[in-house]
Structure formats: C-alpha cells, structure tokens
Amino acid sequence: MSPVRAILWDADGVLQHPPSGWNWRAELERVGGPGFSDLVFEAELPSLRGEEPMRDALARLLFEHPHTPLEADDLIGLWEMTDVDPSAMALVDDLRRRGMACHLATNQQDHRRAWMRDVLGYDRHFDRVYYSCEMGVVKPDRRFFEIILDDLGLAPDQVGLIDDNAKNVASAQALGIRALRHSPAEGVNGLRALLEVMLASSE
C-alpha cells in the first residue's frame, strides 16, 4: 500500500463549528417561519455548485415567498456564524511544516468562500484549496473527488480525507481514498486519533 502523500480536509464540522448554542435550522425557522430552513437549503444548492451567487438565490427565494418579511441581506450574514477551531488549524499547520501536503476540500457557496478566504484566511493554511462553487460539483458526488485526484496527480490510496459527513466519506472510500469520518464532538483529539490511524495504515 502506498504512503499517504496528501490529506483533504473538510471545513464545517472539522475545522470550524457554529458558536455554542447556535443551530442553523432553528435560526432560519425563527426568522422565516416553519419549513423555511428546508427552502433555504434547497435554494442554496445551485450556489454550492457555482451556478449563481448566493445573494441572488436568497433574493429569488424571498420573492417567491413574499409572506416572509426579509431581504437577502437579512439572511446572508447567517453564513458567517462559524468559529474556526484554532487547535484544529494548528494541527494542519504542523502537518504541513512536517512535509505533509494538506488541501481544503469543502462545499461552499460564493459568499461563504469569500468570507473564509478573505476574512478567516483559510487559503494560507493549505497547499491547495477546493471549494465546490469553484469546481461546479458538490460532495458527495464522486466527481468532486475525481477532480481533486486528477489535479493532484495522485492515486486514490495516496490521499486521505477527514470529513464529518458519512456520505462524503463513503463516496471517497468508494474511489479508494483513505477517508475517515470525524465526530465534531471529539474536537482536535479526535482529529489526532484519526490521523494516527490514517498515517499508520500507510507505513
């Protein structure tokens, strides 16, 4: 078995988390009423694939549901309600210093990508960054991972993935990527444990 030469890192649920007590669905239901969260997440999908700006998607949704007394600007800021885990990011930085290539592989629409890139400084922590809105495809679609493998020029078993979504992990594993699922509640200690398993299996 080939050694792992690169690790793909998911963002939400792995490197960043909602503030304590924050709940996406509960907040969307609070501002938009029952069932509003499902409408928002459905409207977001084209933006996650880079097919339209997130602000336009929200504006269209609100136009189609005039009973919701909101503007797109009232909602767009909700996607900034996330705190980066400094310990998790330090772990990524340490791996890179030790020679392990680390790449961001995350589903994000354009507004959140810009916020992560320009405000949180995500890109400087990774060798390469893969945002779904720039790739035109969203995890767990296998093409998301195929694009990355092709860009890296690596065999699947030379690449690891840490993700908190079971479907994303299963999709990557089906291609031969050494994907492991992270439980957000386990924090950085859980990430270290996953890395030990991933890297030990490649020795």
Contact assessment for residue 202 and residue 178, using Cβ atoms and an 8 Å cutoff? yes
Of 6-10, 53-57, 198-202, give the lowest mean pLDDT range: 198-202
User: How far is 179 from 8, CA to CA, in rounded Å?
Assistant: 9
Over 90: is that where the pLDDT of 2 sits? no
- In the predicted model, what is the mean pLDDT of the chain? 94
pLDDT for the residue 69 = 77
The predicted-structure confidence for 36-75, as pLDDT tens digits, reads as follows 899 999 999 999 999 999 999 999 998 888 777 788 988 8
Q: Which domains does the chain have, with CATH numbers?
A: 6-18+82-200 (3.40.50.1000), 24-80 (no CATH)
Q: Which residue has the tokens 């908190």?
A: 164
pLDDT band at 202 (very low <50, low <70, confident <90, very high): low
**Greatest CA separation for the chain:** 59
Contact assessment for residue 152 and residue 159, using Cβ atoms and an 8 Å cutoff? yes
User: How far is 65 from 163, CA to CA, in rounded Å?
Assistant: 34
Tell me, yes or no, if the pTM score tops 0.85: yes
User: How far is 117 from 122, CA to CA, in rounded Å?
Assistant: 5
Beta-strand ranges (E) seen in 41-142 are 83-84, 101-106, 128-131
Buried b (16+ CB within 10 A) or exposed e, 145-169: bebbbeebebebbbbbbbbbbeebb
